[in-house]
Amino acid sequence: MVRIGIMGLTGCSGCQCEILNCQEALLKMLKRVSINFFPLAQDDNSLEDLDILFVEGSVTTEEDERKVKKGREVSSLLVAIGSCACYGGVQSQRNDEVSLTEMVKAVYGEKGVPVKVSKPRAVSEVVEVDYELPGCPLDKKQFVYTVASLLSGVKPFFPKIPVCHECKLSENECLILKGIPCQGPVTFSGCGAPCTSAGVGCQGCRGNCDFPNFEEMVSLLTQRGLSVEDAVKFLKVFRGYTAKEIKVRGVVDEKGA
């Protein structure tokens, strides 16, 4: 039996719920794996000697850091699941705008918060990560594919091509051409473009694709009514520490020069 663990740090538990949503696949999986650590779903949990550990959530508290370091030590493979674990999550979108003290004071007042906290970090900023399954939440199919691949001794592989690719395959009309703010061109595909298929622009929850052209992206967004500032904030929501790749220097002017 392959021993797996599923750990939650600071997040919304949405990825762990998506894993439970795998239902039939999960029941099949249980023939080959034993779940040794999954506090959300079971009582007896042992964080020892694991083959694969899935980690959800950002590293925000001292306890998160201790847990993920221990998890790294005891597991042969560590897979970060969801955009909190991969990039820092929505909670990290203002990391570069304000200080931690300011945030604590604004929400909890002078008394502060009763646990030791740092600015939210991605798991890879704290320990070595073998694979990342981004998305908010992670994609179920990618989770099942990853487990199936690892069980068969194959490395899971995810091409970092933009969401536009899958959006086209879904035969959607381009939302950007319709004037709807959409991050498809700079976002890592693998979700099957469900948001654009519902008529909502891609929100960038899966992070950067390879070679994202943020300058052009910001320019397209500003031509559709957003200010540069709002466009950058829109792009930053899920990208966490990878948002530093967003460059707005020399934003293309009206003439497209």
Partner 1 sequence: MKRELNVNHLSRVEGHGAVDIVIDGSALKEIRLRFTEGPRFFEYITRERLYTEIPKIVSRICGICYVSHRLASSMAIEDAFGVEVTEEIKLLRKLLIVGEYLESHALHLYFLALPDYMGYGSAIEMAKDYPNIVKRGFAIKEVGNRIMKTIAGKTVHGENVLAGGFKSIPEKEQLERIRDDLYGIIPELKATLSLFDSLNYPEANSPHNYELSLKGGHFGSLCEELEISDGTVFTKREYEFFVEEEVSPYSTAKRSTIKGKAFLIGPLARVNRALDSYHPSVKEEIKKLKNALPSSNPFLSNLARAVELLEAGFLGIETVERLLNAYPFEPEVPLEPKKGEGYGVKEAPRGTLYHRYAFDENGRCIGANIITPTAQLQAVIEENLASLVEKDLHLPDSELKKRAEMLVRAYDP
Binding site for partner 1 (CB under 8 A): 8-18, 20-21, 23-24, 27, 30, 35, 38-45, 57-58, 60-61, 63-64, 89-91, 93-94, 97-98, 102-104, 106-109, 111-115, 117, 120, 136-137, 194-195, 197-200, 203, 205, 226, 230, 233-234, 237
Nearest-approach distance from CB 90 to partner 1, in angstroms: 5
* Three-class DSSP category at 247: coil
| Helices 214-223, 228-236: crossing angle, 10 deg rounding | 120
Which ranges of 111-206 would DSSP assign to H, the alpha helix?
140-151, 163-169, 194-197
Indicate the residue type of 243. Answer: A
Among residues 150 and 237, whose Cβ is nearest to partner 1? 237
First to last CA, the chain: 60
Nearest-approach distance from CB 190 to partner 1, in angstroms: 13
Among residues 72 and 94, whose Cβ is nearest to partner 1? 94
Here the tokens at position 191 are 């979700």
Tokens 């599923």 — which residue? Answer: 6
* Maximum CA extent, the chain: 63
Nearest-approach distance from CB 179 to partner 1, in angstroms: 13
Among residues 2 and 12, whose Cβ is nearest to partner 1? 12
Among residues 23 and 154, whose Cβ is nearest to partner 1? 23
Nearest-approach distance from CB 62 to partner 1, in angstroms: 9
Among residues 130 and 180, whose Cβ is nearest to partner 1? 180
User: H or E stretch including 230?
Assistant: helix 228-236
